[in-house]
Structure 1
Amino acid sequence: MSEREPESRELSFVSRERGPAHDDDDDDMLQNGRSLPPTDRGRGAYVSLACCTVAQVPIWGYSVSYGIFQEYYSSSKSGIAGSPGSFATIGTSQMGIMYLMMPVAFLLLHRHPRLRRWCGPLGLLVTVVSLVSSAFVDSVGGLIATQGVLYAVGCGLLFSPISMYMDEWFVQRKGMAYGVMWSGKAAVGVAMPFVFSALLDRFGLRATLLSWTVASVVLTCPLLFFLKPRVPLPPSTQARPLSFEFLRRAPFWMMQLGIAIQALGYIMPSTYMATYASNIGLSSVSGPILVALFSFASIPGAVVHGVLGDRISATAVILISSFGSAVPVFLLWGLSRHFANMIVFVLVYGFFAGGFSSTWSSMMREIKRDDSSSDTAVIFGMLLGGRGVGFVLGGPVSGALTTARGALSEESLGYATIYGPMILCTGITAILGAWGSYWKLLNKAASQGFSECLPIRHP
């Protein structure tokens, strides 16, 4: 059986760094006397990618639109008493739990792959129970329990096996696949807030939640039917061995630290953009438009960064995303308060920052190269946990930053508003999101000389 050898030639840090693509399966691998379907191409791979992308609608549709529900809960229409902070806790709990449970879920499903076929249906059942229950609760505590905790667990159980199946089907084009998947989430962020806003205004909270329950079931059931694993389940029920060697290596933790820092700042523009637009005197429709444009720009951003991750090194693609995110924050958001400039800002920032999660495939490739016995899906779950840490910290940090100034300035600079400290934090965290790249370049400079770190190597 032929094996693909990693490319040994490296053209500075922008060259493609490839290691073993997956655990022990390849395009021409035989199992039980039968050849496995090809990776990266063919009907099975594309069906898996399509199912995984469409699945982002029921998984993330409510989470990315929670700002609409938070506004509704805070109004007199909901009939639910609570402070704005208590309603915000529902959304932060939901997003935080979804991400923080990923490392445990991915580890468990890797060790016991037979659980994957039941994990998706169980997740759907949990989401249905949580949504139906939340439609009939009348307290903040009930909403936190149903929407903040139970719904997050259900969506996490749905996301985990679906992502692991896609990871099996794509090896050399893994970055492209993850980019398309994340673009599906971004597309949800464009459309669903407007859909939920219209439903709440016309039918009210209970009808909206129940209709979303039905839509989630209708969307998810066909996906669970058509989505199949590439590698057949082993006949033995014995737990799979799992290597944690990559956790003992510095590269993983440097990249994980960068992910957490980037997530801390990334959540701020999308969370406060609508409020910022209102406070600086823009029209009431400006905020939702800016948020929608941010998500819209993330669609091509996710795909482009994913494709780049398949072609160039993790160091390069992370730096592109980080500096591409930081520049518009400092120059467009911080130095102006005009609507036209804000449109340019959300488009540029959304493209580069929205593509950051698609760079993870290149990180996974580098980590896999250092520890060939590790599983890329498990690494992906760990990286999701790092993002969850950043999101959880981002809520209280952003709240503290917006209260650092006492009043809204009349000056034309975004830095002069009460959001000035938050703008600076967003730009700085975007730069520090490439922490793993900086660490790698410094190590390379220390061991091989500064010239080896330049984009163009001298002969």
Structure 2
Amino acid sequence: MFSYLSSLLTVDNNFTSTSPLPSSVSPKRAIDILYDHVTMIKLNPLVIDLQRCEPHEHAPEAERDLIWYEITDKVSYLPFDLLSGQVKYKACFKDLPMGLQTSIYAPLGLRTQNKWTLEDQDELQLKEDVSIGEFQAYYEQNLLRQYSSSKISWIPSLQIFFMFAMGPIAGQIYDRLGPRYLLLGGSLLHVFGLMMTSISKRYYQILLSQGVCSAIGVAAIFQAAVSCIPSWFSKKRGAVYGIVSSGSSIGGVIFPIMISKLITILGFPWTMRICAFMILFLLIVANLTVRSRLPPNPRNLSKNSLMRPFHESKMMLLITGFFILTFGIFVPMNYLVTAAMAEGMGRNLADLFGRLGAGIFADKIGSYNIFVVVTYIAGILVLALWIPASNNSGTIVFAVLFGFATGAYVALAPGLVVKLSPFAEIGYRTGLLFLFASISGLTTNPIAGAILQYSGGSYTGMKIFSGALLIVGSTLVLGVRLRQTGLKLNAIF
């Protein structure tokens, strides 16, 4: 549903920008600034404090004799600094003949390297190589360079929120009119949002086009695609859900590779347009092929039909469990620096196989059974593997395994609703499930940030928070299964 969209902002690669020196700054003055490490650090307006320190424990031998600083940055977890905190990290500085190279060791045991070199003396250009996300890099270095990374990160946060929160509305449209108009409207909004992003120049324009308009379109497309499955399949339904939801994982592999090549050749505007045209072609195919076997059932909305799910104990237990699970799921997704996500989009590939595998096994042993097992495994991975992971290798292993384990989260969620719902209300109830999940997705960052602030920058408390909620959420979903089947261990449900 949203893997390929969020990957556009998070895929790791080397981003290079070349800037002409101001006429008032001579090459010697530029080099002097690069060699003045304290001045370079203080160019970041978020820096609160810095002091000399010992090398990072995982620094290679080549870096141990360099100059090291422990730097404290201010971080914002909510817009307008409604909730802020501090984060500490270590960085070393190596003077080059015509530049400077730095290595930054982030709190999650991850490393980022930056290099500034003075090139082409006749044109007085300063070249900067930074290992960060493709679109995030472009926004920070070009369009939105006056904004902090935390503010820019609200673009993908709003994407996730609207893709989930529009579920009940999109579900009602599906239940009343079928997939045709929902898919058509979602296609127009999604492509229009991407096209508007290509001509956007300001923060609010990108926020509205990419974070809101495009995301609402994706919500409609997703709802139309998954809600029509039960009308066609009564057997092998889990496998079909897995195949359909795996499309976003495939996109999460293909789109970043394509973008990383195009953005350096054609620039940001035409990269976005090419993505939009490619998506438009795929959505034309979808509009021509996606149909429901049963005709739409237009009917007047009533308070009873809207409130009925809230009076069903099993449905409310599922919604509550999924709501809590989402907190645990999105903490690693939001806080794992993408550099650790293995070259070649390791987590997206693992997520792809996780979704396909979860769907296939769901048909054999039951969607609830496989969902609970896999989400329990995700919680155990967070508590047993992510907490002790202290370097890139450990974090990469965790990211790949976590991606595989959480494939069931998206692949099987609609199938869980189908088991408890009348056919005429599947769209609305699926949307309701994702509506509550959107609240979790939007508030995860502030809550995790508050935990970080309270614990003085230590990530252990945040990881415990994630793992514990994964276990609690999984237990509540298990409660749905037990209320339906009792204590029968071999029951397929």
Q: Going by fraction, where is strand more abundant, 1 or 2?
A: 2
Alpha carbons 1:72, 1:78 under 8 Å: kept: no
Code of the aligned partner of 1:91: P
Q: Equivalences for 1:350-389 in 2 at 5 Å?
A: 350-368=403-421, 372=422, 375-389=425-439
Q: State the match for 1:71 in structure 2.
A: 136
Alpha carbons 2:387, 2:460 under 8 Å: kept: yes
Shift, 1:405, TM fit = 4.2
Q: State the match for 1:172 in structure 2.
A: 235
Q: Equivalences for 1:310-329 in 2 at 5 Å?
A: 310-313=363-366, 315-329=368-382
After TM superposition, the runs of 4+ consecutive aligned structure 1 residues lying more than 6 A away are 441-444
Alpha carbons 1:81, 1:139 under 8 Å: kept: no
Alpha carbons 2:253, 2:349 under 8 Å: kept: yes
Task: Flag structure 2 segments of 5+ consecutive residues without an equivalent.
Answer: 11-132
TM-score between the two structures when normalised by the length of structure 2: 0.67
Shift, 1:126, TM fit = 2.0
Deviations 1:78-131 (A, max 9, x none): 355322222111111111011100111111221233xx3233222222223222
Q: State the match for 1:94 in structure 2.
A: 159
Deviations 1:179-205 (A, max 9, x none): 112222222223323332333233322
Measured in 1, the distance between the counterparts of 2:471 and 2:343 equals 23
Shift, 1:431, TM fit = 0.7
Q: State the match for 1:81 in structure 2.
A: 146
Measured in 1, the distance between the counterparts of 2:327 and 2:465 equals 9
Deviations 1:7-30 (A, max 9, x none): xxxxxxxxxxxxxxxxxxxxxxxx
Measured in 2, the distance between the counterparts of 1:362 and 1:123 equals 22
| 1:341 pairs with 2:389 | no
Moved more, 160-169 or 325-334: 160-169
Q: State the match for 1:257 in structure 2.
A: 320
Higher radius of gyration, 1 or 2: 2
Deviations 1:367-407 (A, max 9, x none): 13xxx465333332222223222211212223333444445
Measured in 2, the distance between the counterparts of 1:231 and 1:259 equals 29
Secondary structure in 2 aligned to 1:210? Answer: helix
Shift, 1:248, TM fit = 0.9
Secondary structure in 1 aligned to 2:153? Answer: helix
Secondary structure in 2 aligned to 1:367? Answer: coil
Alpha carbons 1:112, 1:240 under 8 Å: kept: no
Secondary structure in 2 aligned to 1:76? Answer: helix
Shift, 1:243, TM fit = 4.5
Measured in 2, the distance between the counterparts of 1:99 and 1:85 equals 21
Q: State the match for 2:172 in structure 1.
A: 107
Q: Judging changes above 3 Å, is the alpha-carbon distance between structure 1 residues 74 and 206 closer, same or farther for their aligned structure 2 residues?
A: closer
Shift, 1:315, TM fit = 4.7
Measured in 2, the distance between the counterparts of 1:441 and 1:380 equals 18
Alpha carbons 1:273, 1:291 under 8 Å: kept: no
Secondary structure in 2 aligned to 1:193? Answer: helix
Q: State the match for 2:467 in structure 1.
A: 427
Moved more, 214-223 or 76-85: 76-85
Measured in 1, the distance between the counterparts of 2:173 and 2:468 equals 36
Shift, 1:140, TM fit = 0.8
Shift, 1:161, TM fit = 2.1
Q: Judging changes above 3 Å, is the alpha-carbon distance between structure 1 residues 254 and 348 closer, same or farther for their aligned structure 2 residues?
A: same
Measured in 2, the distance between the counterparts of 1:158 and 1:373 equals 19
Please point out which of 257, 267, 273 is paired with 1:204.
267
| 1:300 pairs with 2:243 | no
Deviations 1:38-66 (A, max 9, x none): xxxxxxxxxxxxxxxxxx5xx75323422
Q: Judging changes above 3 Å, is the alpha-carbon distance between structure 1 residues 288 and 344 closer, same or farther for their aligned structure 2 residues?
A: closer
Shift, 1:438, TM fit = 4.7
Secondary structure in 2 aligned to 1:62? Answer: helix
Measured in 1, the distance between the counterparts of 2:415 and 2:186 equals 29
Q: Equivalences for 1:220-299 in 2 at 5 Å?
A: 220-232=283-295, 239=300, 243=305, 245-274=308-337, 286-289=339-342, 292-299=345-352
Q: State the match for 2:489 in structure 1.
A: 455
Q: State the match for 1:162 in structure 2.
A: 225
Shift, 1:147, TM fit = 1.3
Percent identity for Structure 1 against Structure 2: 19
Moved more, 128-137 or 102-111: 128-137
Measured in 2, the distance between the counterparts of 1:141 and 1:424 equals 35
Code of the aligned partner of 1:420: T
Alpha carbons 1:99, 1:385 under 8 Å: kept: yes
Root-mean-square deviation (CA, aligned residues, Å) is 3.0
Shift, 1:328, TM fit = 1.7
TM-score between the two structures when normalised by the length of structure 1: 0.71
Measured in 2, the distance between the counterparts of 1:401 and 1:344 equals 25
Q: State the match for 1:218 in structure 2.
A: 281
Q: State the match for 1:44 in structure 2.
A: none
Measured in 1, the distance between the counterparts of 2:190 and 2:478 equals 41
Measured in 1, the distance between the counterparts of 2:135 and 2:396 equals 24
Code of the aligned partner of 1:352: A
Q: Equivalences for 1:128-139 in 2 at 5 Å?
A: 128-139=191-202
Greater relative contact order: 1 or 2 (C-alpha under 8 angstroms, separation 6 or more)?
1
Q: Equivalences for 1:146-157 in 2 at 5 Å?
A: 146-157=209-220
